[in-house]
Copies of this chain bind each other. A is one copy, B any other.
Amino acid sequence: MKIGVFDSGVGGLTVLRALLARIPGAEYLYLGDTARLPYGSKSQATIARYAVSSSQFLIDQGCEFLVIACNTASALALNEINEAAAPYNIPVLGVIAPGAAAAAANSLTRDAMVIATSATVQSHAYAAACEARQLRAIEKACPLLVPLVEEGWIDHPVTAEVVRIYLSELREAAIEADSVPDTLVLGCTHYPLLRGVFENAVRKLWPDNPLVVIDSAEATAREVAAHINAVSRPEDAAIPPRSCACQFYATDSVTKFRELGTRFLGHPIDRVQLVDLGG
C-alpha cells in the first residue's frame, strides 16, 4: 500500500510520524509544498489551487491513499482534492474530521476549544465538524505559533507567554459564550511540538479542571489504519515492519526541509527530492 501524505511544509511530518508508528508496513510518499507555504494566511482560492496541484503530484506517483496532513488544506480544499482524486478511485482523508471525532469522544461537557491558523479558523471547518458530533467548539487563530516553532523556540519563555496570551483570550471568549470546555484541539500540525507548553498553560489557566489536549495527528493515523485494514488483504498484518520506507519531496530548498523536518519527524531525513509544481 502506497500512502501519499501532503502538507504545505514540514508540519505534516508529525502526522507521518504517527502513521509510521501505527502502519509501519506501508510505503510512504511525503510532499511538502515548501515553495508556496505558508497556506494558513492565504485565501481559499489560492489554497485550493496549491493543494490540488500537490495532490495531483502524489497521485501521479502512484499513491493509493491520500492523507491531507495540512489542517489548512483539509479545512479549505478537501472538496477540490476529492474531485481531483475521484477519477482514480483514491480515498482522501483530511485531519479535521479525525481531530473533531477524537475531541467528541473525549468531551463530557460537550464544549471544546480549537486553536489553528487564521485560514483554518476563518473556514470554521473544525466548528462544523464538531457540531456534526454534538460538540460545540470555540475557535481561535494563533498566527505566531508556527514562526515560534520554526525559530526553534520550543522551550522558551517568549513562547510560553504567547501561548498564555492566546489561551487567556480563548478562556475569555469561552466565559462570554457560557461555554465550559474540557478539551483543547491542536488544529495545526506544528502545535504538537508545543504540547508541553500547552499542558503547562492549561494547568495554570484552568487549575480546577485542566483541559485534555487533543492532537489530530494520532487520531488521523488511527483512522487511516482502520481504512487500510478494511481494504487490504488480511495477510498484510503479518508483514514485518520495514525501516521507514519513505520518499520525501519538497518544492523548495531540500536542505532546509531536511534540517527542519528532522525535528518534526523525530528521526533524520536522508534524501529529499526537489519537485517543481510551477508558480
Chain B residues closer than 8 Å to A158, beta-carbon distance: 158, 161-162, 165
Q: Which residues of chain A in 243-279 are interfacial with respect to chain B, using CB atoms and an 8 Å cutoff?
A: 251-253, 256, 277-279
Q: Are B256 and A43 in contact (CB under 8 A)?
A: yes
Chain B residues closer than 8 Å to A23, beta-carbon distance: none
Chain B residues closer than 8 Å to A252, beta-carbon distance: 42-43, 46
Interface segment among A68-76, A143-151, A186-194: the answer is A143-151
Q: Which residues of chain A in 29-79 are interfacial with respect to chain B, using CB atoms and an 8 Å cutoff?
A: 34-36, 41-43, 46, 50
Identity of the chain B residue whose Cβ is nearest the Cβ of A162 in the assembled complex = B158
A43-B37 Cα distance, complex, nearest whole Å: 12
Copies in the complex: 2
A35-B45 Cα distance, complex, nearest whole Å: 10
Q: Are B46 and A42 in contact (CB under 8 A)?
A: no
Identity of the chain B residue whose Cβ is nearest the Cβ of A256 in the assembled complex = B43
Chain B residues closer than 8 Å to A148, beta-carbon distance: 144
Distance to closest chain B CB from A164 (angstroms) = 10
A residues with a Cβ closer than 8 A to B are: 34-36, 41-43, 46, 50, 143-144, 146-148, 150-151, 153, 158, 161-162, 165, 251-253, 256, 277-279
Shortest 8 CB-CB contacts between residues of A and residues of B: A279-B279, A43-B253, A147-B147, A35-B46, A46-B252, A43-B252, A42-B252, A144-B147
A-B contact pairs, 19 of them (CB 8 A): A34-B42, A35-B36, A35-B46, A43-B252, A43-B253, A43-B256, A46-B251, A46-B252, A46-B253, A50-B279, A144-B144, A144-B147, A144-B148, A144-B153, A146-B147, A158-B165, A161-B161, A277-B279, A278-B279
